Amino acid sequence: MKIAEIFKTRMSFSFEVFPPKEDDRIPKLQHELDELCTFSPDFITCTYGAGGTNVGKSLEICDYITKQGVDCMTHYTCVGASKEKILSDIKEYINIGLENILTLRGDFPKDPDTGAFMTSTGGAFDHANELIAFIKEQFPDLCLACAGAPETHILAASRESDIAFIRAKQDAGAEFVMCQLCHDVDAYARWVEKCRKAGIRIPFVMGLMPVLSRDPIINMTLSNGCSLPSELAAIIGKYTAPKGAQEALVKSYAADFKKAGMEYTAKTLLRYMNCDLQGIHLYALNKSADVGQILLNAGIRTKKE
């Protein structure tokens, strides 16, 4: 099914997974996917590494998802991709039954000599709206999604220019927006209001990162230029082990942080459901048991036996 069709009748519910770097960990991810599928997601997305690294594993994971009877959407970026490569890659995904693509610019690659970030993707297109227009022209039956950053993309010149690019992606053929990390529900609501005023009519699907461990949530939040709401900052402060603490105490703090973080995530999920959004997209982090428990805590999804 094309994901855009879901929004015509209900709010969607979905997961995101990523291919492991090591081949011997793929069976573990397949087991995680089996568990996630017991919550009857409308679709599952699969990422791949910068510049298309891990693209082969992404294809393998997408194939596994579709064979479980669940719609799958792959991520796809402009980075290092010629028009010929884009056509070849998309045909591979179509051949395994995919109808949905999350089209992204991707992060600029680093110069191999200087290590500095380049100012181009090194491919045929430097902007996602160009990629969307090209894919839509070549594969008009595909359902294309685009990305949006509720707290403004970290490299954007301004909030207004960032929203203008989303409008350009909509006009190029994107059928819905996959929103990137944002813990601040009020900031999301203000952003969507601005997007609607700017003429962006397509649905929004909110990406939600479960709060499970201290360092990853801080690193992911700050690296994406996002804020830490006071309630989340309080959890981080309360459950940070003192310097020099013994291992047993560190583990105790980590366990308490995880419990509080899962409760916080469940509450945040419910708050988002009261906003202008058409889907909830949980970053599963390849941790199905924890993510499943968050859903049970929130009371919005039951598990098939």
pLDDT digits (tens, 9 = 90+) for 220-278: 999 889 999 999 999 999 999 999 999 999 999 999 999 999 999 999 999 999 999 99
Are 103 and 144 spatial neighbours (Cβ–Cβ below 8 Å)? yes
Q: Give the mean pLDDT of 133-145.
A: 98
Task: Give the pair of three-digit tokens for residue 147.
Answer: 């990305």
Q: Is the dihedral of CA 20, 127, 15, 288 positive or negative?
A: positive
What local confidence, expressed as pLDDT, does residue 50 receive? 52
Backbone angles phi, psi at 74, to 5 degrees: -90, 155
What local confidence, expressed as pLDDT, does residue 80 receive? 80
CA 210/CA 291 separation, integer angstroms: 7
The hierarchical CATH code for the domain 3-298 is: 3.20.20.220
Q: Which residue has the tokens 């999301």?
A: 188
**Per-residue confidence band for 109, with pLDDT thresholds at 50, 70 and 90:** low
Q: Output the DSSP codes for 67-99.
A: HTT-EEEEEEE-TT--HHHHHHHHHHHHHTT--
CA 39/CA 99 separation, integer angstroms: 22
What local confidence, expressed as pLDDT, does residue 23 receive? 77
Q: Is the dihedral of CA 168, 207, 97, 69 positive or negative?
A: negative
For the chain, percent of residues with pLDDT exceeding 90: 80
**10 Å Cβ neighbour count for 65?**
28
What local confidence, expressed as pLDDT, does residue 193 receive? 98
- Nearest CA to 13 among 34, 48, 42? 42
pLDDT at 212 over 60: yes
SS3 category, 179: strand
Q: Which residue has the tokens 């100012």?
A: 119
Q: Give the mean pLDDT of 129-144.
A: 97
What local confidence, expressed as pLDDT, does residue 298 receive? 93
Task: Give the pair of three-digit tokens for residue 170.
Answer: 């909509």
Lowest mean pLDDT among 14-28, 66-80, 163-177: 14-28
Q: Give the mean pLDDT of 95-117.
A: 83
Who has greater pLDDT, 155 or 9?
Answer: 9
For the chain, percent of residues with pLDDT exceeding 70: 96
pLDDT at 139 over 80: yes
Q: Which residue has the tokens 């291919």?
A: 19
111-128 per-position pLDDT tens digit: 777 777 667 777 879 899
Q: Give the mean pLDDT of 138-164.
A: 96
DSSP state letter for 25? G
Task: Give Cβ neighbours of residue 238 (< 8 Å, ≥ 6 apart).
Answer: 260
Q: Which residue has the tokens 């970053």?
A: 283
What local confidence, expressed as pLDDT, does residue 122 receive? 74
**Per-residue confidence band for 52, with pLDDT thresholds at 50, 70 and 90:** low
Q: Give the mean pLDDT of 155-167.
A: 95
Are 288 and 37 spatial neighbours (Cβ–Cβ below 8 Å)? no
Mean pLDDT of the chain: 92
**Per-residue confidence band for 74, with pLDDT thresholds at 50, 70 and 90:** very high
pTM: 0.93
